[in-house]
Amino acid sequence: MEKVFNSVIVVGDSTNNTLSIIRSLGEANIEQTLILKCDKDICFVAESKYLKNSPIYHIAVIEDCMPILEQMKKNTGKKKYLICSFDEAAVFIDENESILAPFFYTPTRGKQIGELFNKDKQCKLANECGLVVPKSQNFHRTENLDDLVLNYPILLKPLNSVKGEKSDIHICHNKIEMEKALLMESHCSDFILQEFIDKEYEIDCIGVRTEKEMYLAGGIRKIRHYPELIGAGAYGLFQPIEAYDINTQAVEKFLERVNYYGPFSIEFLHKENKNYFMEINFRNEGLAYAATASGANLHALYINPDMVIDKKQIHKVYMMNYSIDFLYVKNGTLSLWIWIRDLLRTRCFININFKDLNPTICYYRNKIGSKFMAFKKHR
């Protein structure tokens, strides 16, 4: 009888979050299927060489993935692993855990994360598990700002990631700034307010939980964000987890309480020898490929828990998203020569992979083509 190997269904969007899974699985020669939700594949995820012989399904709305999964339930052989790369997918799969768990390896194996996608609930559980958590309170945009129990400065961010954007995150130093932030165009109504930690740096820890272990491979110390302070990581250093004083036992306890399995990331702010818990992502993220580049392929470990990662061989790796990081040069904040130095020592690029160049080639070919057509149109 032919041996059936473990395989994966990636429910992803057109972002580097999805490409980091596709590439990690591809490097480990793991069979994968992609369900891609987007109007247009702007990152050309489907052009990855690791998907050359893989089934790819394009969907417009997340609900469209259910008929595809229903069809896959009929396939014989081992159960496939479900991995999500964006919040909407993670929430949708969570809502359908009871239907999917008998046929797939789902993130909570038939249970549900439920309210823990809510950052306030996360913070309360994190505190119970022994992590250091900033003071916080829930806030609806219609509430009176005079009733706040926190002192300024305050970090304002969406209560639920699915219902907010990065642009909804603000640092407010007084009531006037808070009012101005709330007047900005947004579809987000519910926020979490946290005491603003004037961090020395931010750590984005990359990990996975399998049936055998919870393993935090390391963390990315973010050197530059764009926009500054509140934006996505533009340049940073991935180091083995031993380089940071992370309470890994508390993180493990947190995941056990949730019953979550799969790739995850957990964010901390570091100040005065303390790591303040900010949030955990119950899904894969774009920076996760930094762990693969350092020698810890966490996606492969999840699919094959018996796999051995030589933890002594995991090494530090500089990572960069050169597109957004270069904006610091363009606005005059950063010297071109310093940026070139940082570029040359980077071994993990978020938006280009030299083992898998086709998505980047397609992206720039499309970009140049669009500019050329626009030029012709206006001549």
Q: Tell me the angle at which helices 119-129 and 248-258 cross, rounded to the nearest 10 degrees.
A: 120
Q: Which H helix or E strand runs over 89?
A: helix 87-95
Q: What is the pTM of this model?
A: 0.89
DSSP 167: G
pLDDT at 164: 76
pLDDT at 4: 42
pLDDT at 166: 74
Alpha helices in 155-314 (DSSP H): 175-183, 248-258, 289-294, 298-303
Placement of tokens 């393993």 in the chain: 215
pLDDT at 375: 63
pLDDT in tens, 341-358: 999 999 999 999 999 999
Identify the CA nearest to 193 among candidates 257, 149, 251, 229.
Answer: 149
Provide mean pLDDT across the span 96-124.
95
Q: Are 162 and 114 in contact (CB under 8 A)?
A: no
Using left for φ > 0, alpha for ψ between -120 and 50, and beta otherwise, residue 62 falls in alpha
Mean of per-residue pLDDT scores for the chain: 92
93 vs 378, higher pLDDT: 93
375 vs 32, higher pLDDT: 32
pLDDT at 16 over 80: yes
What is the C-alpha separation between 65 and 233, in angstroms, rounded? 30
pLDDT at 2 over 60: no
Name the amino acid, one letter, at 312: K
Provide mean pLDDT across the span 306-325.
94
Count, in order, helices (H) and strands (E) of the chain: 13, 16
pLDDT in tens, 221-277: 999 998 887 778 899 999 999 999 999 999 999 999 999 999 999 999 999 999 999
- Altogether, the residues listed in the chain come to a count of 379
